[in-house]
Each structure stands twice: as structure tokens, then as C-alpha cells.
Amino acid sequence: MRSLLLLASAAALIAVPAAAMQHDAHANHKAHDAITAAVAAPTRTATNTPRDTYRHPAETLAFFGVEPSDTVVELWPGGGWYTEILAPLAKSGGGTLYVAAPWERGLNRIKEKQTADAATYGAVKLAEFPGTGAGSKVPDGSADVVLTFRNVHNWRFGGTDKAADAFKQIFAMLKPGGTLGVVEHRLNESDDSAKEEKSGYMKKSSIVAFAEAAGFKLAGESEINANPKDTKDYPKGVWTLPPNLTEGDTDRAKYVAIGESDRMTLKFVKPAS
């Protein structure tokens, strides 16, 4: 009898982790399906979808662990390339999406989307970032995930203090254990750091330093958005490459063949305690 009890106890100990693993696998599968559906959303702009080949949105969001039920903050959404994916993703799972940018000109393109398609974008919340008091901010400790795509260089253009303050404000937005996902044009570590001030490229070490100074821990990195063809030595910076092509017709075929920039994909976490 004692042997049977020991065997039963051992089986129970094995079954609990197995059940937990099955639950996690099921949750991951559901999140994957939701992200795939959001990337395929018919509401996306037709000129945006061809850029998926460079930006790998499904793989990027999966790497950052975004789930449809999350409260997600997208910083400086610009024309809304990622918003077109994140809004239907949040809607599908009952999540919340904030878009946060300089108040309020940085949000005008998103407002246009809300007016044109309230069914898709009407629930998107608008917030000011960096916060100055001009508009409402993302409540402290409310976000599961904060995402920024190719924006850290813009904060750096305002000086190192502005960049440092941006990371501190992001840290405040997140719940303990929350994730910061960063995609940014990557400057070679051997290059002169002064290039960060005008080229649009940033060193990984610089971003990690800003994040760690704010309290974040680097939790992972991916080469999903890497592009080894990018030589990063253009007089007009990263904007020489698609989609901007600032050189116009000069060497256009060359730059189109290179494609969009070499990008680092960094995942940071706010410590749980």
C-alpha cells in the first residue's frame, strides 16, 4: 500500500507540471493564431503589407510575448503601420491599446484612422508621450507591454537627457514583470557614437544603457529584423533606404535591393519586485 501511495504521489507531481505546460502551449497557440489573424486583417493599408517582408510583424510580436488580452502601449505610432495590426489584435482578445506620442500632432494620423474606421480603431486610447502635462498619459503601472518601433533615435536627437527621461517614463507605465519591446536601426558597435546624433542608427550598447539606467533588465534579443546588406554609411543616414529613399532616383535600384535597414530587436523586462 505504501508503495502505491508513493507512486500516486510521484505521478501527481509529474502531472502538475505537464498540465501547466499544456496550458502554456495552448495559450501560446491562441496568441499565435490571434497575431496571425491581425497581420492578415483586411483593414490594413494595401501599401503597408508589402513591407511585412522587412518588418516581420508576426514573428516580432510573438518574440515580445504580446497577447490579445494585454494592455499594450505603442509609442510614437507615426502613420500607424503597427497600429493597423495591434488594434485588431487587441479587439480580438478584449485587450487595450494605447497609442502615445507628442500631444497632439503626433497622434493626428491615428485620429484620422479613428474617424475613417471607428469599428477597428475607435477603442484605441490616445495618450501623450513623453508626458508634459499637455495631454493625458498612460497610467502608471497599467501596461503589460510597451512597444517602440524605430523611435529611440528620435528621442536621442533631443539629447541624452531626453532619451533617458523617455525610458524612465516607459518604466513607470509598465506593471512589475511587464515587457518593453524595442526595434531600432542598428549602428555597429565599432562606429563613432556621434553618428547616433544624426544618422538614425543607434548602438545596442547605448539602448541597453538607457534601459538599464531606468531599471530594466535585458531579457532577450532576436535577429528577426536583421539585414546584413545594410552598410550604414550613407551621407543622408538611414532614410537613404526604403521606404524613404531620400536620394530619389539616384542609385534607387541599389537601395531598393538592400531593402529596409538592419535592425536590432531587444526585449526588456521591468523586474517583478
Kindly report the three-state secondary structure assignment for every residue of 65-118: CCCCCCEEEEECCCCCCCHHHHHHHHHHHCCEEEEEECCCHHHHHHHHHHHHCH
Q: Which pLDDT value is given to residue 28?
A: 74
Cα–Cα distances (Å) from 208 to 143, 156, 261, in that order, read 20, 13, 20
List pLDDT tens digits, range 28-58: 778 899 999 999 999 999 999 999 999 999 9
Residues whose CB is less than 8 angstroms from the CB of residue 6 and which lie 6 or more positions away in sequence, other chains included: none
pLDDT at residue 273, as a whole number: 80
The per-residue pLDDT for 26 is 54
Low-confidence ranges of the chain (pLDDT < 50): 2, 4-13
Domains recognised in the chain with CATH numbers: 2-269 (3.40.50.150)
Give the pLDDT confidence score for residue 6 in this predicted structure. 41
Rounded Cα distance between 151 and 172, Å, is 18
Strands 263-269 and 143-149: unpaired
Count Cβ atoms below 10 Å from residue 106 Cβ, excluding itself: 19
With vertex at residue 174, the alpha carbon angle to CA 83 and CA 262, rounded to the nearest 5 degrees, is 50
Sign of the torsion angle spanned by Cα atoms 117, 119, 120, 122: positive
From the list 145, 166, 161, the residue with the least C-alpha distance to 267 is 145
pLDDT of residue 5: 44
- pLDDT at residue number 31: 86
Please state the pTM of the whole predicted model.
0.90
Helix axes of 108-116 and 83-93: crossing angle, nearest 10 degrees? 50
Q: Are the beta carbons of 131 and 104 closer than 8 angstroms?
A: no
**φ/ψ (deg, to 5) at 97:** -120, 125
In angstroms, the CA 205 to CA 266 distance is: 11
